[in-house]
Amino acid sequence: MKINSSSSRPIVFAVSDSIGETAELVIRAAMIQFNSGHINIKRIPYVTDIEYVEEVIEEAKAESKCAIVCTIVLPEVRQKLIELAHKNNIPIVDLMGPMMDTLSKVTELKPRLEPGLVHKIDEDYFKKVEALEFAVQYDDGKDPRGFAKADVILIGVSRTSKTPLALYLAHNRLKVANLPLVPEMIIPDELFQVPAKKIVGLTISKEKLYEIRQERLKALGLDADASYASPERIKKEIEFADKIMAKIGCPRIDVSNKAVEEIATKIIEIIRKGEK
């Protein structure tokens, strides 16, 4: 079998209105069937207008042997590329058009026609995973060094939904650390080195906290008279938390009778307001 030298190999252009990764992967997958190494691949990304299409065709015409594989979702751009390729006898494979047409028929839906959605979705997914891992790593004040890296830090007494909120907010790609405020603990210096606008204090009424802690003790099969749920202990913790929040000067949210979703929405509003 005669093998082309690198300079004389045919070129396959991977043309896309995004980064062109999908087109290149398909080309490489097909080339495996030919033992690979017999073509050169040139990726041409972000082809989003007719003028750029014309430039691509001019470049392809300059090659003695070439083909085009395209993954373009914009209909007018895709059609122009196919039209000019056929006019200039350049072989072209449209990977995206027939697939979208087929899916439109079977789903009776119209495509969004937004270039690069795959990568946007992938990026969004990985940001969520990263935020979830962050919430677990810096839960319950495990490592105060995380405060500087966090988008928001939640502080409050035990049973104010800090951990559920951190995990919920992670799905909004927010990195959340949280710290329980306990009178016997030494507050880490790192907390006071973070801008107050990044910290949200979660407050709760004494009555509601007593009710929640009583239920918690029952669920654990513990004595309802434990100091953890005593009115005196609750009063002491809330007063301590109030002092710390006042010292920091952070915004506060009363979580007494609110669902996690409602509290999370308020936290997001506070963070966005602080970013302005």
* 83-124 per-position pLDDT tens digit: 999 999 999 999 988 888 898 899 988 887 777 666 665 677
145 — alpha (psi -120 to 50), left (phi > 0) or beta?
alpha
Phi, psi at 242, each rounded to 5°: -60, -40
Do the Cβ atoms of 159 and 219 come closer than 8 Å?
no
Q: Which of 274, 206, 197 is nearest to 241 (CA)?
A: 206
183 — alpha (psi -120 to 50), left (phi > 0) or beta?
alpha
Looking up tokens 């603990």, which residue turns up?
Answer: 185
The predicted structure's pLDDT at residue 5: 41
In the chain, the domains with their CATH numbers are 6-115 (3.40.50.960), 118-275 (3.40.50)
Residue 6 has pLDDT above 80, yes or no: no
Percent of the chain with pLDDT over 70: 94
Six token digits for residue 93: 């494979």
The predicted structure's pLDDT at residue 2: 39
**pTM, two decimal places:** 0.61
The predicted structure's pLDDT at residue 32: 83
Mean pLDDT of 31-35: 82
pLDDT tens-digit map of 225-234: 788 889 999 9
The predicted structure's pLDDT at residue 29: 87
Q: Measure the CA–CA gap between 42 and 69, rounded to whole angstroms.
A: 10
Task: Collect contacts of 263-271 with beta carbons under 8 A, ≥24 apart.
Answer: 263/161, 263/165, 263/202, 264/165, 264/168, 264/169, 264/172, 267/152, 267/154, 267/165, 267/169, 267/200, 268/169, 268/172, 268/174, 270/197, 270/200, 271/151, 271/152, 271/174, 271/197, 271/198, 271/200
Q: How far is CA 231 from CA 50, 118, 203, 237, 238, in A?
A: 73, 54, 16, 10, 11
Q: Measure the CA–CA gap between 66 and 60, rounded to whole angstroms.
A: 7
pLDDT tens-digit map of 239-267: 999 999 999 999 999 999 999 999 999 99
